[in-house]
Amino acid sequence: MAELRETPYSVFNYLVDIGDGSEGSVQGGFSEVSGLVAEVTIAEYRNGNAKTNYVTKIPAITKSGDVTLKRGVIGADNINAWLEQVRAGDVNAKRNVTVKLTDENPTSQSAVVTWKLINAMPIKWTGPTLTAKGGQDVAMEELVLATEHVIQE
């Protein structure tokens, strides 16, 4: 359950568990999470004998957006192994991914809001852009997850 307070929480304290138990470890250390979206489509309906001249809108199918995770390349193979599982057509490849926004206290890291991505699976992996120009950039990889449902707790 989300904790209510007067000032908004910062976006830079969060933990990601991609369903392999790597939450809070180096393998789960994502630098960015984006695309937490839940959408309800509507259906428009009007009875032929309705006295009003407008449609009634009723909830229809719900959809969730694709979620993008980014992290620096660290040599961990947990994402690649999961992607290979999906490529092989494994019906058990879907996982429940958890994203927890935590408070600013570095010793407790208590979750204040949790999003659960139900039946998520990787649909796209993008490797780093490599350049010989040098510089201070970090080699980043990106994982896009398709998810069936997003729940906020």
**7, part of any domain:** no
pLDDT of residue 107: 79
Exposed, middle or buried by CB within 10 Å (0-12, 13-18, 19+), for 69?
Answer: buried
Per-residue pLDDT reduced to its tens digit, 89-146:
998 999 999 999 988 877 777 888 999 999 999 999 999 988 888 778 889 999 999 9
Residue 59 placed within a domain: yes
pLDDT at 24: 64
Closest CA to 71 of 62, 84, 80: 80
Question: Does residue 115 lie within any of the structural domains?
Answer: yes
Residue 3 placed within a domain = no
Residue 107 inside a domain? The answer is yes
Task: Tally the domains of the chain.
Answer: 1
Q: pLDDT higher for 22 or 122? A: 122
Mean pLDDT of 79-92: 94
Q: What mean pLDDT comes out for the span 29-53?
A: 93
DSSP letters spanning 25-68: SGGG--SEEE---EEEEEEEE--TT-SSSSPEEEEEEEEE--EE
Which of 51-55, 63-67, 100-104 is predicted with the least confidence, judged by mean pLDDT? 100-104
Cα 83 from Cα 30, distance rounded (Å): 17
**CATH label of the domain that carries residue 71:** 2.30.110.20
Q: Which domain holds residue 83?
A: 14-152
pLDDT number for residue 8: 83
Q: State yes or no: pLDDT of 30 exceeds 90.
A: no
In a domain, 111, yes or no: yes
Q: Please check whether residue 104 lies inside any domain of the structure.
A: yes
CB 16 within 8 A of CB 34: no
